[in-house]
Amino acid sequence: MTAGMPVALVDCNSFYASCEQVFQPRLQGRAVVVLSNNDGCVVARSREAKALGIKMGEPWFQARHRLQGQGQAEAVTALSSNYALYADMSNRVMRILGRFSPRQEVYSIDESFLELDGLPEPPEVTGQRIRATVLRWTGLPVCVGIGPTKTLAKLANHLAKQDPAWAGVCDLAVLDAGEVERLLAPIPVAEVWGVGQRLAQRLGALGIETALDLRRAPSKRIRQHASVMLERTALELRGIACLDLETLSPDKQQIRCSRSFGATVSSLAELTEAITTFTSRAAEKLRAQQGEAAAIAVEIRSSAFRRDAAAYAASRVVPLAAPTADTRALVAAARAGLNRLYKPGPAYAKAGVILLDLSRAAERQPDLFADSSADDRSQVLMATLDQINRRFGRGSLTLANARPAPRWRRREQFRSPRYTTRLDELPVAHC
């Protein structure tokens, strides 16, 4: 644990909403919200949408009703999420950020840590160049937080977003302790990275209500009442680096694919279709990291928001005979699990699968008794399947019972075109 080099957290402002505004300039300066799968919840809000009191994660039908009551419904544009667009824009942003430091951790779709060390200029100046470059090359606004630790960089980013006086870049690493403490004093402890609502409540009972309180809390007291994780967080708030920059993204330990349905389903046949589709998608992701799964979990449930007698949720883990990345073997196991879980009656609202016990295919000990030629044939077939789906679009080639347009498919009433990843949906400039 050392006093670290300055680290920056670069975070796109209202990322999904900003992506939409880049390609639909008439949305700039307007309240825009982006909705989750099935147009269910609000997952991104433009600044103007936040100002209208729309909450993150709020069910859209509730927000809409409230806004209608206030005569504000017309002021908001709601869009279905367009992940193809956001993922592509994210890749562009991350590549640009990589030019500013050889040490980069891509933390999420819209956030990246950068180590700012050995620069010929003050980090704050680099921060401003990052903002200007990303804006000019992608149209997306970002804020930059800088600190001696990742946790302080996160908090600095929060400050930069909150107070326009920072002009989008807040560097805590250059401030003395007194100035840092003055800035942390008004920040609720729940804003600190790693402290959620539950923990904030418990800390409140101990008299720890702000980021400053947590910074000053004795380690022993924290360990007594919470976890070693929180103790690390408190040290990070004091400028003692406990969290390394993770420049290599590790393989996933589990791969999940689950969806709420656009319309509830009751029949085993339809659930089988859904589970087949989800397993195929998860297997694709598994092969993309050269992995194999030794088990698969299947889950089905009725709506979590209805408390009637028919409420039903069940899951089951099915071990595989041998670790595999073959869609056919995974689907067979998932279907076996589903058959054990299924009971007629409930209106199923959601289903999913999780690939578990993952390992690298290349590191597996060969099974002396297995037919290795079957293994080779499977790999060739799966590689071909993935290649075709990459070239012609996801779902071009599927197992026989994964149908293309099932009744339970998601609702997406308001999706914008996939401007950057589909030739037939390119933006058109009218001259």
Partner DNA sequence: TCTGGGGTCCTAGGACCC
- The footprint of DNA (CB under 7 A) covers 36-38, 40-41, 43, 57, 59, 61, 107-111, 154, 192-200, 227-229, 250, 252-260, 285, 303, 305, 317, 349-350, 352, 410
Q: Which is nearer to DNA, 12 or 27 (CB)?
A: 12
Question: In this structure, what are the phi and psi dihedrals at residue 107, rounded to the nearest 5 degrees?
Answer: -90, -35
Q: Which is nearer to DNA, 191 or 375 (CB)?
A: 191
Q: What share of the chain is helix, strand, coil (3-state, %, to 5)?
A: 45, 20, 35
Structure tokens at 263: 């319309």
Nearest approach, Cβ of residue 366 and DNA (Å): 21
Q: Which is nearer to DNA, 174 or 311 (CB)?
A: 311
Nearest approach, Cβ of residue 383 and DNA (Å): 20
Nearest approach, Cβ of residue 119 and DNA (Å): 25
Question: In this structure, what are the phi and psi dihedrals at residue 108, rounded to the nearest 5 degrees?
Answer: -155, -175
Nearest approach, Cβ of residue 289 and DNA (Å): 10
Q: Which is nearer to DNA, 45 or 350 (CB)?
A: 350
- Rounded to whole angstroms, the Cα distance separating 279 from 257 reads 7
H or E, element range at 14: none
H or E, element range at 73: none
- Rounded to whole angstroms, the Cα distance separating 33 from 44 reads 6
H or E, element range at 342: none
Q: Which is nearer to DNA, 215 or 259 (CB)?
A: 259
Contact in structure between 94 and 106 (CB atoms under 8 Å): yes
Q: Which is nearer to DNA, 65 or 129 (CB)?
A: 65
Nearest approach, Cβ of residue 253 and DNA (Å): 4
Report the C-alpha dihedral over residues 40, 46, 49, 55, rounded to 10 degrees. 50
Which residues have a Cβ under 8 Å from the Cβ of 29 and sit 6 or more positions away?
48
Nearest approach, Cβ of residue 27 and DNA (Å): 21
In DSSP terms, 100 is beta-bridged to none
Nearest approach, Cβ of residue 258 and DNA (Å): 4
E-state strands within 111-254:
111-115, 142-147, 169-171
Residue at 211: amino acid letter: A
Report the C-alpha dihedral over residues 125, 126, 127, 132, rounded to 10 degrees. 90
Other residues' Cβ atoms within 10 Å of the Cβ of residue 360: 12
Q: Which is nearer to DNA, 41 or 234 (CB)?
A: 41
Nearest approach, Cβ of residue 333 and DNA (Å): 15
Nearest approach, Cβ of residue 263 and DNA (Å): 9
Q: Which is nearer to DNA, 30 or 410 (CB)?
A: 410
Nearest approach, Cβ of residue 242 and DNA (Å): 11
Q: Which is nearer to DNA, 225 or 418 (CB)?
A: 225
Q: Which is nearer to DNA, 119 or 228 (CB)?
A: 228
Structure tokens at 88: 């592509």
Contact in structure between 60 and 39 (CB atoms under 8 Å): yes
- Rounded to whole angstroms, the Cα distance separating 222 from 143 reads 31
Structure tokens at 201: 């409540």
